[in-house]
Amino acid sequence: MQFTHLSVARKLKFYQLVVFDQVLQSGSLLRAAQALGLTQPAVTKIIHELESYFGAPLLVRGNRGVSATPLGALMARRSKSLLAELRSLTDEVNAYQEGTSGHVLVGTLISASSSLLPHALQLLKQRAPKVLVSLRVGQMDQLFPALAVGEVDLVVGRVPDDWRWHHESSQLEAVVLYGEELAVVTGAQHPLTGQVPVSLAALLDYPWVLPTRDSLLRRTVDRLFDEAGLEAPSNVVESLSILTNLSLMQDQQTVAVMPLEAARQFIGAGLLRTLDLGSHLQFGDIGYFHAGNRELGPAARLFRECLEQASQEQHGDLTA
């Protein structure tokens, strides 16, 4: 059977795509039915209608739930983009009829989660209390695909030099907001606090907590040791959890590396101290990514304005 966009438009219903997407997210017909407020037979019927129209199975049922067939995976990928556009349409209609409202989905990396993002969210809530914000924390390899298909509206975090090598980069655009420094930090009573400068070599005998190997921050840390002609520490815990890292450093022995913005609030509270290595350590540019081929809805546009305002208030105008 040869499909045309008109024949698909006549037969396919948006709600079928909503149900199909929820089934894949839930991994179960029953859990999808519960999430949608439907009965399981109703969900099964909708899936059968889709499969009957396309003449092929879209889901594989197994002991661990359901997963997509190759055709189902294609459907899922395109459905996410269509549903993102539907969400934007809903936001714009609500904004037009009720004033500023809507839903914005933000992906974030550790480098922006502790200062810039909370400030931007506070500004947003001052201007538009009805806007719902959903945050998704992850690594770039997880967030870029989600941004490309519309699962998130913006990704906030470090903008690495090599980001254009990612598979989805041709669909994305980056905006740099400010440059971030890196801090080597310890508990406030660490034996080496107050010494100026402290050499990296002197820190190798202490326990370290380092970012996980798949993170951008870990690459920066590895380069720091490499440029100093040193092997990386051998006594290491790998973690991206700020609270876990903070707790580990309270032994007054453990050393960690954090973006300076992430460390400042704990330094101000007297929980951490920075170690002076004799020079500034550059972490990189902080900014946001958005899909270049898709317009942001009104809620996401307002959040972007708040993000840029928060950056300017904290770091000044980068273009000045």
CATH number at residue 50: 1.10.10.10
For the chain, the residue count is 320
- Do residue 138 and residue 184 come from a single domain? no
Indicate whether 41 belongs to any domain. yes
Q: Residue 162: what pLDDT?
A: 77
- Do residue 49 and residue 170 come from a single domain? no
Beta strand pairing status for 103-108 and 65-68? Answer: unpaired
- Do residue 170 and residue 311 come from a single domain? yes
For 159-186, letters b (16+ CB in 10 Å) and e give bbeebeebebeebbebbebbebebbbbb
pLDDT tens for 224-278 read 899 889 998 999 999 988 889 999 999 999 999 988 888 888 999 999 999 998 8
pLDDT grade for 294, boundaries at 50, 70 and 90: confident
The answer, yes or no, to whether residue 112 has pLDDT greater than 80, is no
Indicate whether 56 belongs to any domain. yes
Q: What is the rounded CA–CA span in Å between residue 154 and residue 295?
A: 11
The answer, yes or no, to whether residue 99 has pLDDT greater than 60, is no
Indicate whether 320 belongs to any domain. no
Task: Say if CB 284 and CB 221 are below 8 A apart.
Answer: no
Spatial neighbors of 5 by CB under 8 A, at least 6 apart, are none
Indicate whether 105 belongs to any domain. yes
Q: What is the rounded CA–CA span in Å between residue 245 and residue 209?
A: 7
Which residues span the domain enclosing 57?
A: 5-78
pLDDT tens for 30-80 read 999 999 999 999 999 999 999 988 888 999 988 888 999 999 999 888 888
Please say which residue of 78, 108, 139 terminates a domain. Answer: 78
Spatial neighbors of 11 by CB under 8 A, at least 6 apart, are 53
Q: Residue 320: what pLDDT?
A: 42
Q: What is the rounded CA–CA span in Å between residue 267 and residue 244?
A: 16
Residue 230 half-sphere exposure toward CB, CA atoms < 13 A = 16
Residue 229 half-sphere exposure toward CB, CA atoms < 13 A = 1
What dihedral angle (degrees, nearest 10) is formed by the CA atoms of 168, 287, 142, 209?
140
Q: Residue 108's CB: how many other CB atoms inside 10 A?
A: 20
Helix or strand or coil: residue 235?
coil
| Mean pLDDT along residues 157-170 | 79
The answer, yes or no, to whether residue 95 has pLDDT greater than 80, is no
- Do residue 66 and residue 95 come from a single domain? no
How many domains does the chain fold into? 3
Helix or strand or coil: residue 35?
helix
- Global pTM reads 0.66
| Mean pLDDT along residues 132-145 | 87
Indicate whether 67 belongs to any domain. yes
Indicate whether 20 belongs to any domain. yes
Average pLDDT taken over every residue of the chain: 86
